[in-house]
């Protein structure tokens, strides 16, 4: 899949101080865009020690990619994939100072990405993680471009426990589309949750912040990443988001997401009016309504029959595995 985003190959000077780095990428049916990602990671001024790939579905893997000298691939079946568990397993395979997690559809905007992420984690006191700025791709729709700028502004920031009253749920925001983690802090915090339908990055970041560490937003570390989701897709994503929050009240209870969502809708509405794109207001209303409906139901998933849950989720394998785990637990309980 070709994209016209500009890629800056200019050399930059990075004071490496010999921090070792692994880039970790879960993949599923990777395509030519993933091939481009591998090339851009190889060209980084601060070159990673290894690109560790956790690939779901060996039949979809292109063995030509293994010519990349930095690449190490581990294959797993779809039934074994978990947003938290798979990344946790990958982290156990890494022994570097810093682990950078990415998704297969994120493209470094320049050769400075890894260096700037390493610097953000290394130079900020108490920093346990740093995440990159996400820029819209060439095919990104108008409204989604504004959402990118809302969630990923031009100014860097550092978030800590003292910011919860001011920033709310945004304090825990840290996107694994592209984020760097201090491995020593990661181990102290117990790593990613073993089982997560979604949102494993914020669950971990919330744990970290609650324990006195900070999350850095590194605006100078930039990747191209965006999606043109339909209302239905937004519903499914936000259902799983709601489920993840309901399953982790120790992180999200008392830090509601609704206020941040309302603020985004208001800002987006004002932006459409100011720029004269008022014909996009129905799209904004529809997509916002679908997001909220999905989130509302996801938060209350325990009250829903399994059939409805499977119709709402984007992760049916999660629920099948959850059912098997609960059955095994009940069987063990009965046998004792």
Task: Quote the CA–CA distance of 70 and 328 in Å, as a whole number.
Answer: 40
pLDDT tens sequence across 281-307: 999 999 999 999 999 999 999 999 999
Whether the pLDDT of residue 333 is over 90: the answer is: no
Whether the pLDDT of residue 13 is over 70: the answer is: no
pTM for the structure as a whole: 0.90
Mind listing the domains of the chain with CATH numbers? 21-224 (3.90.550.10), 231-335 (no CATH)
Per DSSP, the residues of 187-252 read HHHT-S-S--SS-HHHHHHHHHHHTT-EEEEEEEEEEE------HHHHHHHHHHHHHHHHT-HHHH
In angstroms, what CA-CA distances link 123 with 119, 126, 127, 192, 196? 6, 9, 8, 23, 30
Whether the pLDDT of residue 143 is over 70: the answer is: yes
Whether the pLDDT of residue 3 is over 50: the answer is: no
C-alpha neighbours within 13 Å on the C-beta side of residue 301 = 24
Task: Quote the CA–CA distance of 15 and 88 in Å, as a whole number.
Answer: 29
pLDDT tens sequence across 26-39: 999 999 999 999 99
For 179, the enclosing helix (H) or strand (E) is strand 178-182
Instruction: Say if CB 208 and CB 192 are below 8 A apart.
Output: no
Task: Quote the CA–CA distance of 145 and 26 in Å, as a whole number.
Answer: 25
The predicted pLDDT at position 328 comes to 47
The predicted pLDDT at position 12 comes to 41
The predicted pLDDT at position 78 comes to 86
pLDDT tens sequence across 148-192: 999 999 999 999 999 998 888 999 999 999 999 999 999 999 999
- When pLDDT is averaged across residues 196-225 and rounded to a whole number, the result is 96
pLDDT tens sequence across 228-279: 999 999 999 999 999 999 999 999 988 877 788 899 999 999 999 999 999 9
């Amino acid at each position: 899949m070709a994209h016209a985003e500009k890629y800056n190959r200019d050399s930059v000077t990075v004071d490496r101080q010999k921090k070792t780095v692994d880039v970790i990428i879960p993949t599923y049916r990777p395509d030519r865009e993933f091939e481009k990602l591998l090339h851009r990671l190889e060209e980084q001024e601060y070159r990673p020690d290894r690109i560790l790939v956790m690939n779901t579905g060996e039949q979809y893997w292109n063995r030509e990619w293994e010519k990349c000298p930095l690449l190490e691939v581990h294959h797993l079946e779809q039934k074994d994939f978990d947003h938290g568990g798979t990344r946790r397993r990958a982290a156990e395979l890494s022994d570097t100072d810093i682990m950078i997690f990415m998704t297969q559809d994120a493209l470094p905007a320049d050769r400075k990405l890894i260096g700037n992420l390493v610097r953000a984690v290394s130079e900020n006191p108490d920093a346990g993680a740093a995440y990159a700025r996400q820029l819209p791709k060439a095919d990104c729709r108008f409204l989604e471009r504004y959402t990118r700028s809302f969630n990923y502004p031009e100014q860097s920031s550092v978030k800590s426990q003292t910011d919860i009253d001011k920033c709310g749920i945004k304090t825990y925001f840290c996107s694994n589309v592209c984020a760097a983690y201090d491995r020593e802090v990661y181990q102290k915090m117990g790593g990613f949750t073993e089982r997560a339908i979604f949102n494993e990055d914020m669950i971990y970041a919330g744990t970290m912040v609650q324990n006195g560490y900070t999350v850095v937003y590194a605006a100078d570390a930039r990747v191209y990443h965006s999606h043109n989701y339909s209302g239905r897709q937004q519903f499914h994503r936000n259902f799983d988001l709601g489920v993840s929050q309901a399953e982790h009240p120790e992180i999200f209870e008392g830090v509601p997401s609704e206020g941040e969502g309302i603020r985004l809708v208001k800002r987006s509405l004002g932006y459409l009016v100011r720029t004269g794109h008022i014909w996009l207001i129905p799209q904004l209303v529809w997509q916002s309504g679908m997001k909220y409906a999905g989130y509302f139901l996801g938060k209350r998933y325990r009250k829903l029959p399994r059939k409805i849950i499977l119709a709402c989720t984007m992760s049916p394998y999660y629920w099948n595995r959850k059912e098997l785990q609960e059955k095994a637990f009940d069987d063990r309980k009965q046998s004792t």
